Amino acid sequence: MLDADALNLLAADPALAAMLGGGPPVRVMTPHPLEAARLCGISVAEIQRDRLAAARSLAAQWQAVVVLKGSGTVIASPPDAGGSVSLSINPTGNAGLATAGTGDVLAGMIGALLAQGMPALQAAQAAVWLHGRAADHLVAQGTGPAGLTASELYLPVRDLFNALLRARQA
């Protein structure tokens, strides 16, 4: 799981990036557009111009599931043996998620699902959906999007996750 400064270090240090490329595959990377631009060596405008292509390119370059954060978060898998890539655009979330710490919450959620044995692509998709849905729930209840804090996401995420588990058992 690589997020935030780990992504910036990879972009700034080709030797470190090469070492990582030679080891076990990275499972999930969660760049925002500026981090993605640094990793690709292009501008943020170029990333934003074609977010699907940027996520696909990063997934192939790093052999990782890539969560390109932002409005319409894009989740891309690395190419399989046949060269096929899974791309999805998350429909949940709002501007409240553009606040400090919410990316850390998302990374923690993905990490928790990975630790429970969920495959990387499914963990990323589930966490991104839950993260966005929790923000949508908060806004519907009158909290945010302005002023929404990362710590406010935990309770609605827990409630949503438990509701999904109950529905699955029914």
85-109 tens-digit pLDDT: 999 999 999 999 999 999 999 999 9
pLDDT of residue 25: 62
pLDDT of residue 13: 80
Q: Do 6 and 84 lie in a common domain?
A: yes
Residue 74's closest CA among 82, 85, 66, 84?
A: 66
Q: Do 16 and 61 lie in a common domain?
A: yes
Show which of 57, 89, 121 is a domain's final residue: 89
Q: Do 44 and 126 lie in a common domain?
A: no
Residue 2's closest CA among 43, 48, 36?
A: 36
CA atoms lying within 13 Å on the CB side of residue 141? 12
What are the backbone dihedrals phi and psi of residue 87, each rounded to the nearest 5 degrees, phi first? -125, 135
Q: Do 72 and 151 lie in a common domain?
A: no
How many domains does the chain contain in total?
Answer: 2
Do the Cβ atoms of 27 and 62 come closer than 8 Å? no
Q: Do 106 and 70 lie in a common domain?
A: no
pTM for this predicted structure:
0.88
pLDDT of residue 7: 74
Q: Do 47 and 22 lie in a common domain?
A: yes
Q: Do 85 and 157 lie in a common domain?
A: no
pLDDT of residue 27: 83
pLDDT of residue 26: 61
Q: Do 81 and 119 lie in a common domain?
A: no
Which residues in the chain show pLDDT less than 70? 3-4, 8, 20-26
Q: Do 6 and 83 lie in a common domain?
A: yes
pLDDT of residue 69: 97
Task: Residue 123: give the domain boundaries.
Answer: 93-170
Ordered strands of the 87-89 beta sheet = 28-29, 65-68, 74-76, 87-89
